[in-house]
């Protein structure tokens, strides 16, 4: 791609607005900046678009959003889904409302009705809404937990999950075929509304969504019993979770919910957050300060599009608040649901729990303990959503719970994506049960460790930006494939799973078999002593990620084992 030629075209052509021309004039002569903005198209990948906001082909702007939507519209029309319409939601980021409208008006110009929320909403509510409305597709404008300069665009299909194979590749092909911006359609908003091609969504969807969430409550009487005593601190990280989280907790009867004031209202600059990510301990600074003032039992935070939940819980023995990984909080919710569904006779026939290959091995141990079928899928919640659809089509199983290590889970089938609102609700019910039984959430986590083993996981990531970065990431993956390690420190590689080549290799015998999962650029090393390591280039950031897990005899033992595994990986690299 001739980046200078593209830069000149965007800077001068009257198709692009005056603000775009002005922004691009300001970088004239800055060769590196021009190259970064124009050396490629912002890739419409399997999860949609995500990038820095700004003018250029490699940026998030109204033109790249329109272009992506035109490709999606072309695909919808070819699939005969034009009459079903598309639901659209957006978060609190810069340009989110504008991008949502640009997508809606492109769809409308193609004769496809757009249902657009009247204000910011969580990603899982979009998943619910498009199925409720019978739409063919859905769009969420969000960059999830990325820094403030980013925004993104996620595409969903009629089952409520993000588009999966082979449909994802087919949509990508349609987007790639839109090469001329003059081919991208749009129309006036007033005209779209007048033509019945732009409809605003609001309270009716919110109430229906809340009603579905409440179906996942197992013991409302437990919540009622401790409602006066349990204290919860919550931060929506200046995103979409504030209203729905407070509403559901209030309607369930929780009385002492304290919201971090500095992070309560939408703020596209995330002024008090370096990184609005529940995985980042620094993001909890203000929430923990409030928790200490209120003597809170638990501290909760949802990311800006409210599909992921982070928690801290009070350890009364030390007086400290203990951070929980997504694996830990997921296991607390999963074990509570499986235990109490079985105890109350509300477990469905042929129950199943679904997890990703980089999620804790504790998930399998808990599922097996409660007689629940355990299924592993590739990284990405759309693969969990795909399993729910498969269960419904075949009748083979009934979905009970699904989770991934990156702080995302789903109880129920009202949505087909991870849902931090239902996760908050389930976590708070579990915390209420702990309170009624005279223990903390941290106490209960220790009980699970003692019963199932001290599982611990970690992640090591290498960030490599730009053209050279992409090449370096590819070289690392090639090295791991062509010369795979036989040992990680004291741990022996038992099996290597190459999901890109669909090959599982037994490292002791050389025997090979198929992975049984879709193609993906992922390598998984199954190690001795119930340990593992997995390498995967990120689909949304310029990173290569290494996921690792171990099982220890105590917290200290597990921490030491995971430290040694991480050091062994770094040494190999």
Q: 58 and 183 share a domain?
A: yes
Residues in contact with 524: Cβ distance below 8 Å, sequence separation at least 6, in sequence order = 357, 496, 497, 499, 532, 533, 534
pLDDT > 80? residue 417: yes
182 has a pLDDT exceeding 90: no
Asked, for residue 214, whether it belongs to a domain, the answer is: no
Q: Which of 249, 224, 222, 213 is nearest to 234 (CA)?
A: 249
- What pLDDT, on a 0 to 100 scale, did the predictor assign at position 47? 76
pLDDT digits (tens, 9 = 90+) for 329-379: 999 999 999 999 999 999 999 999 999 999 999 999 999 999 999 999 999
SS3 for 455-505 is EEEEEEEEECCHHHHHHHHHHHHHHHHHCCCCEECCEEEEEEEECCCCEEE
Each residue of 451-490: pLDDT tens digit?
A: 999 999 999 999 887 778 888 898 999 999 988 999 999 9
Candidate list 96, 137, 144, 355, residue with the active-site label: 144
In a domain, 535, yes or no: yes
d(CA 130, CA 442): 37
Phi, psi of 527 (to 5 degrees): -110, 165
Same domain, 185 and 62: yes
Within this chain, do residues 75 and 187 fall inside the same structural domain, yes or no?
yes
Q: Tokens 């250029």 identify what position?
A: 56
* Same-domain status, 9 and 79: no
In a domain, 219, yes or no: no
| 98-111 pLDDT per residue, tens | 999 999 999 999 99
Each residue's pLDDT tens digit, 293-340: 999 999 999 999 999 999 999 999 999 999 999 999 999 999 999 999
DSSP state, residue 45: B
- Same domain (yes/no): 7, 52: no
Mean model confidence pLDDT for the chain = 96
Single out the residue in 302, 324, 346 at which a domain terminates: 324
Residues 151 and 11 grouped into a single domain:
no
d(CA 191, CA 193): 5
CA nearest neighbour of 20 among 9, 33, 4: 9
Q: Could you tell me the CATH number of the domain that includes residue 510?
A: 3.30.310
Considering the chain, what percentage of its residues have pLDDT values greater than 70?
99
Q: What is the number of alpha carbons within 13 Å of residue 38 lying toward its C-beta? A: 22
Q: Is 211 domain-assigned?
A: no
Q: Is residue 68 part of a domain?
A: yes
Instruction: Tell me, yes or no, whether 218 lies in a domain.
Output: no
pLDDT for the residue numbered 554: 97
pLDDT at 146 over 90: no
Q: Residue 309, SS3? A: strand
- pLDDT of 540 higher than 70: no
Residue 552: pLDDT over 80: yes
Q: Do 440 and 459 reside in the same domain of the chain?
A: no
Quick one: 131 and 263 in the same domain? no
Q: How far apart are CA 250 and CA 256, in angstroms?
A: 9
Over residues 431-444, the pLDDT tens digits come to: 999 999 999 999 99
* For residues 380-385, average pLDDT: 94
Does residue 212 form part of some domain? Answer: no
User: Locate tokens 């990510």: which residue?
Assistant: 277
Per-residue confidence band for 43, with pLDDT thresholds at 50, 70 and 90: confident
Residue 299 lies in a domain: yes
CB 545 within 8 A of CB 537: yes
Give the chain's domain count. 5
- Regarding whether 332 and 315 lie in a shared domain, the answer is no
Residue 22 shares a structural domain with residue 151? no
Domain end marker among 149, 176, 206:
206
Output the domain CATH number for residue 444. 3.40.120.10
**Does the annotation count 318 as an active-site position?**
no
Q: What is the pLDDT of residue 164?
A: 87
The pTM for the full model equals: 0.94
> Do 122 and 50 belong together in one domain?
yes
Residues 428 and 343 both lie in one domain = yes
Residue ranges making up the domain that contains 353: 327-452
Last residue within a domain, chosen from 324, 344, 369: 324
Indicate if the pLDDT at residue 408 is higher than 70.
Answer: yes
């Amino acid at each position: 791609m001739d980046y200078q030629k593209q830069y000149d075209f965007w800077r001068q052509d009257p198709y692009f607005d005056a603000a775009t021309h002005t922004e691009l004039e300001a970088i004239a002569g800055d060769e590196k900046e021009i190259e970064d903005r124009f050396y490629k198209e912002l890739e419409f990948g399997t999860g949609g678009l995500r990038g820095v906001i700004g003018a250029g082909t490699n940026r998030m702007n109204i033109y790249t959003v329109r272009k992506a939507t035109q490709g999606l519209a072309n695909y919808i029309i070819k699939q005969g889904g034009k009459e079903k319409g598309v639901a659209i939601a957006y978060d609190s980021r810069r340009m989110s409302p504008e991008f949502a409208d640009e997508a809606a008006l492109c769809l409308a110009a193609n004769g496809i009705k757009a249902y657009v929320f009247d204000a910011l909403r969580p990603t899982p509510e979009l998943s619910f809404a498009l199925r409720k409305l019978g739409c063919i597709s859905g769009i969420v404008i969000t960059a999830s937990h990325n820094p403030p300069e980013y925004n993104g665009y996620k595409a969903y299909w009629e089952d409520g999950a993000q588009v999966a194979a082979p449909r994802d590749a087919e949509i990508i092909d349609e987007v790639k075929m839109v090469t001329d911006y003059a081919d991208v359609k749009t129309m006036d908003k007033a005209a779209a509304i007048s033509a019945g091609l732009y409809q605003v969504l609001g309270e009716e969807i919110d109430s229906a969504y809340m009603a579905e969430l409440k179906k996942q409550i197992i013991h409302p009487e437990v919540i009622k019993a401790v409602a006066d005593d349990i204290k919860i601190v919550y931060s929506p990280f200046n995103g979409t979770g504030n209203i729905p989280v407070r509403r559901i907790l209030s309607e369930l009867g929780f009385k002492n919910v304290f919201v971090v004031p500095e992070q309560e209202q939408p703020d596209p600059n995330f002024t008090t957050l370096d990184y609005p990510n529940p995985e980042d301990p620094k993001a909890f600074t203000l929430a923990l300060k409030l928790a200490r003032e209120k003597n809170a039992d638990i501290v909760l935070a949802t990311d800006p599009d409210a599909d992921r939940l982070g928690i801290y819980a009070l350890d009364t023995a030390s007086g400290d608040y203990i951070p929980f990984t997504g694996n830990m909080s997921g296991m607390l919710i999963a074990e509570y649901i499986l235990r109490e569904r079985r105890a109350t006779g509300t477990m469905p026939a042929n129950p199943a729990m679904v997890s990703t290959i980089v999620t804790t091995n504790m998930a399998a141990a808990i599922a097996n303990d409660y007689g629940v079928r355990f299924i592993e899928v590739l990284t990405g919640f759309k693969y969990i959503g795909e399993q729910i659809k498969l269960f419904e089509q075949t009748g083979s199983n009934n979905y009970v719970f699904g989770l991934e290590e990156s702080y995302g889970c789903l109880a129920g089938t009202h949505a087909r994506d991870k849902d931090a609102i239902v996760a908050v609700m389930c976590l708070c019910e579990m915390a209420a049960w702990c309170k009624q039984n005279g223990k903390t959430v941290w106490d209960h986590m220790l009980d699970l460790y003692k019963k199932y083993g001290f599982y611990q996981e970690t992640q090591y990531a290498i960030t490599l930006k730009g053209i050279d970065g992409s090449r370096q990431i590819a070289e690392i993956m090639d090295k791991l494939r062509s010369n795979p390690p036989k040992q990680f420190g004291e741990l022996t590689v038992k099996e290597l799973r190459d999901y890109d080549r669909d090959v599982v290799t037994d490292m002791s015998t050389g025997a090979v078999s198929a992975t049984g999962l879709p193609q993906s650029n992922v390598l998984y090393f199954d190690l001795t002593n119930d340990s593992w390591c997995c390498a995967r280039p990120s689909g949304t950031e310029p990173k290569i990620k290494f996921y690792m897990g171990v099982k220890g005899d105590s917290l200290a033992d597990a921490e030491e084992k995971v430290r040694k595994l991480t050091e062994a990986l770094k040494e190999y690299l």
